[in-house]
A and B are shown apart, each in its own frame.
Chain A
């Protein structure tokens, strides 16, 4: 029952009056929180900026600095001159210090008899000055600690950021000298696949702050492939060398050049890179196809306003077919891998332009906003050796003139909520041939399986022809388009997950989850050959709806890890179960 009484009061005294008049007044008055109120600098919950951290390290590691580890008390009447740096503890000043002081991840306390003649910096703590105490210089403090640690030789070093799973299988060491930050890296290069096995990446990267707003970066990486290609078509070693100028203020922009020799996937779909890697390693199924790309690239990336990204890239790649090797897998290791399809080998100059807009409220688990991405690619070649395909799939490519094509790709996503527990997510993704000559094999598309059409088999729509039998099952379509809708309802249900006296049992902690989401989804998509002729769709049209493949399904998402079941609404397809390591989109 709502209380009939109401009050007319200005915001400034609202909390106090409510407290006095409300039922809580009998107890302690409520604390009034004004989310729109400005925050005093002294109360800002902030971390020290990178330039301050760098200064802290430089000063602390300087041999002329008087360094303390842990709490130190300078008694009244004592004097200390020079630069003073204390790490982890409290610096209690009862005497006099002449010179600048920095307290790293600790507190500074100037007692009534204390005097500091110099500037003061404190991170991860506070400055307290008792009545009578004096600090003559500037005072700067940050409540959050500086990300530094003390290494084995007693110097401070920058702590690496929290590691991702990809990082778990890697190691790196960073050091800073003469204005250049150097990192030595050793790790895995992406996901497991049937071409390279698990590629090992090793090499240094260098970063130098050329100006306060411009960084220069050089990244040199070598790639060691853990499987051997008996045909020696694929290089045993790869590399990826980049040099970038990074402009940071006010809008972020990157201008770079790159030289690479990599094994790259033809399509990222139908699974993400990590999921495809686990599928290959565990189940002996590699859902992606690959080719080797070798050549230079220059590129520009910019974020002129928050959320809007622009990309322009120009590259010249020697693109070459590679064959599947025989890396190990946990299950079905004795079976043969699916062959890797041939591509149209050649040297291609490619211009790529991209535009993106991201207004999502969270990049990992968005509940509202838009994500729009569009790419357009124009490719040219005078030196290529196309695979012969039936005319029903692709007309012969030109022999006496320059070969050129253009391709586009669009991915649009909308995230919305009906209420705090119910979300509706929509996605339209597709693209393909846009103009010019027919697409090379390594730019063609398909649909089926994975996240796009989980109710159908792998590459259910690949535009293959009975006249062209390829055991590799390549993607042969000119275009693909799919629509996805999912309704997510947070259930409040969990599995094994209990908090008992503050502790989780081992089993609960590992396998438990809380408030899983029930997901109902519908997908519809198709892939087709564009052009004139039987079995093709005119270039300015999309297939009629009855030719689309549609599936529906249900799943349980436990916060990234999800179990889904999907059934096709057409054809004689079995119910298919999938395990995802991430949200569907």
Chain B
């Protein structure tokens, strides 16, 4: 686990920035994002639309919280959880051989491929470090108090 505060600050800005950008691109194109979700052929149309309307806001809010340094534990926990789900979806899609856009960045999305898998792994590494560093730093403070 990384403890260097400068590196963790970099992680916060990268993860927060990526999710703010990803969320905003989807907020302005909810139909496009709903279709991207439907293309995974896992969720019903109603669920796809519901997720398309809610997820981008979760991403923007958690991204902002990370960048501003507010509620870092909660925000990084939510984003880590969503990245785990995205990784699962990517793996399943690659196994099924579906050639679809990931829907990660709305109309600027890339195809679901191994590069996307790697990018998500890197982001998950960053966000998990943010979460764990917050938790352990506060635990150390509590123990020494």
Same complex: no
Which A residues fall within an 8 A CB radius of B? none
